């Protein structure tokens, strides 16, 4: 437990989600252990372990730009309602409590995976591992960033932008990641052995995480060779892929797909054309933000946009498509393949960006960076 606590506390800082010294992560083993000496905050949090059936508890003061955005969104409300896919499927909504007390935290975490403490930070938990607390906290940072920027864009278009929100935005932009392609080149394909495929997946997965193009364990990637699609497992951290890649035969002659990414069906349909070998799916923030931007009012599909939007929408040369994870009548396996057939990428409404490569991951990765950079530029131009 001690090693896991320190590992995920370090991952939070390394991802730029909190500053050194702003993370309190505790885990229950024989006793409750923390990543730092006991202080007043830990004494406030320890009783939460007795009120919930949890394995770990995390409290963070977010780093900028997340801190100011979360504080702004939490002012004067008891609940924040982001509209991105991660929130819909994982967080649902973000409760806000006024004080860091065990009673308030227990009440909120009895129904949600994380809670915002107004003017203080974010609390999340894990029932099996500290990784779950890290994932929930990372998702809160992503969701509130997307919510703040989406609200800002809508306000600017109606002439109702709050000057305080504008100042937060102006301070935030210089802090964001550089999207120029300065990484070391990715391995060149085609890859013809399982070991070389897994090494290529591992390399590009680490770069996606390093660049902030995915958060927590969201996102997935795959590579096709000799009738087998090698794909990241569901809930796999893309910077820790070794041992978490499933070989899934296209003829379904293996049960490996049971643990594969929940978007396996979409990946299989995309590669079925015979033209694509490599697929990347990330959650770059501005691609998600622009996918949520729609000027259509009074739409009969309001609330169902992510499933059934019937409009042809583009960001530059990149289509925006609806679709849900998995199968079903609104599954991504229906909407993504046609969009990717004639475009260098496709944005799924509120969800993220897919790009492809015909030989290796170089083309897909550079397109992912370039499309997100284009989306960021378009966002700035619209304000």
Who has greater pLDDT, 219 or 183? 219
Residue 279 placed within a domain: yes
Residue 297 placed within a domain: yes
DSSP structure class, residue 184: P
- CB-CB contact of 232 with 222 (8 Å): yes
Who has greater pLDDT, 38 or 215? 38
Residue 128 placed within a domain: yes
pLDDT at 356 over 80: yes
* Tally of domains within the chain: 2
For residue 189, the model assigns a pLDDT of: 96
Domain end among 145, 175, 205: 175
Give tens-digit pLDDT for 58-82: 999 999 999 999 999 999 999 999 9
Strand order in the sheet with 94-97: 32-34, 18-28, 56-62, 121-126, 114-117, 94-97, 79-80
**Residues ≥6 apart with Cβ < 8 Å to 245:** 197, 198, 201, 230, 231, 232, 233, 236
Residue 219 placed within a domain: yes
Q: What is the CATH number of the domain that holds 16?
A: 3.40.225.10
Percent of the chain with pLDDT strictly greater than 90: 79
Same domain, yes or no: 150 and 207? no
For residue 209, the model assigns a pLDDT of: 93
Closest CA to 281 of 200, 363, 364, 343: 364
Instruction: With cut-offs at 50, 70 and 90, classify the pLDDT of residue 368.
Output: very high
Residue 189 placed within a domain: no
Domain span holding position 146: 2-175
Same domain, yes or no: 32 and 109? yes
Q: For residues 267 and 244, what is the distance between their CA atoms, to the nearest angstrom? A: 17
Same domain, yes or no: 228 and 353? yes
For residue 323, the model assigns a pLDDT of: 83
Same domain, yes or no: 132 and 244? no
Who has greater pLDDT, 241 or 325? 241
- CB-CB contact of 316 with 245 (8 Å): no
Give tens-digit pLDDT for 72-114: 999 999 999 998 888 888 899 999 999 999 999 999 999 999 9
Residue 40 placed within a domain: yes
For residue 254, the model assigns a pLDDT of: 78
Domain end among 114, 146, 175: 175
Give tens-digit pLDDT for 285-315: 999 999 999 766 666 656 556 655 567 789 9
């Amino acid at each position: 437990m001690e090693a896991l606590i320190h590992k995920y506390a370090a991952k939070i800082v390394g991802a730029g989600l909190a500053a050194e010294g702003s993370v309190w992560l505790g885990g229950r083993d024989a006793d409750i252990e923390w990543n730092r000496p006991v202080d007043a905050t830990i004494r406030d949090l320890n009783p939460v372990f007795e009120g919930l059936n949890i394995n770990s508890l995390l409290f963070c003061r977010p780093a900028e730009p997340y801190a100011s955005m979360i504080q702004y969104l939490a002012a004067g409300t008891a609940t924040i309602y982001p509209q991105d896919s991660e929130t819909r499927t994982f967080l649902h909504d973000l409760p806000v409590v006024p004080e860091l007390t065990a009673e308030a935290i227990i009440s909120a975490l009895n129904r949600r995976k994380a809670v915002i403490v107004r003017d203080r930070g974010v609390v999340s938990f894990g029932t099996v591992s500290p990784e779950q607390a890290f994932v929930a906290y990372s998702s809160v940072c992503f969701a509130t960033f997307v919510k703040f920027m989406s609200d800002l864009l809508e306000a600017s278009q109606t002439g109702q932008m709050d000057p305080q929100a504008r100042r937060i935005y102006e301070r935030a932009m210089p802090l964001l990641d550089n999207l120029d392609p300065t990484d070391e080149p990715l391995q060149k394909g085609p890859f013809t052995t399982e070991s070389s495929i897994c090494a290529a997946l591992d390399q590009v997965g680490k770069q996606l995480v390093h660049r902030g193009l995915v958060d927590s364990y969201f996102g997935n990637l795959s590579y096709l060779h000799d009738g087998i699609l090698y794909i990241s497992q569901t809930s796999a951290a893309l910077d820790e892929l070794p041992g978490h890649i499933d070989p899934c035969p296209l003829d379904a002659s293996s049960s490996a797909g049971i643990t594969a990414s929940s978007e396996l069906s979409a990946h299989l349909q995309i590669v079925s054309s015979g033209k694509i070998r490599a697929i990347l799916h990330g959650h770059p923030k501005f691609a998600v933000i622009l996918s949520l931007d729609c000027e259509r009012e009074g739409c009969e599909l309001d609330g169902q946009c992510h499933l059934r939007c019937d409009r042809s929408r583009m960001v530059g040369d990149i289509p925006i498509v609806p679709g849900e994870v998995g199968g079903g009548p609104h599954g991504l396996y229906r909407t993504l393949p046609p969009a990717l057939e004639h475009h260098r990428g496709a944005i799924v409404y509120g969800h993220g960006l897919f790009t492809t490569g015909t030989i290796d991951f170089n083309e897909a990765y550079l397109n992912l960076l370039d499309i997100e950079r284009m989306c960021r530029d378009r966002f700035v131009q619209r304000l």
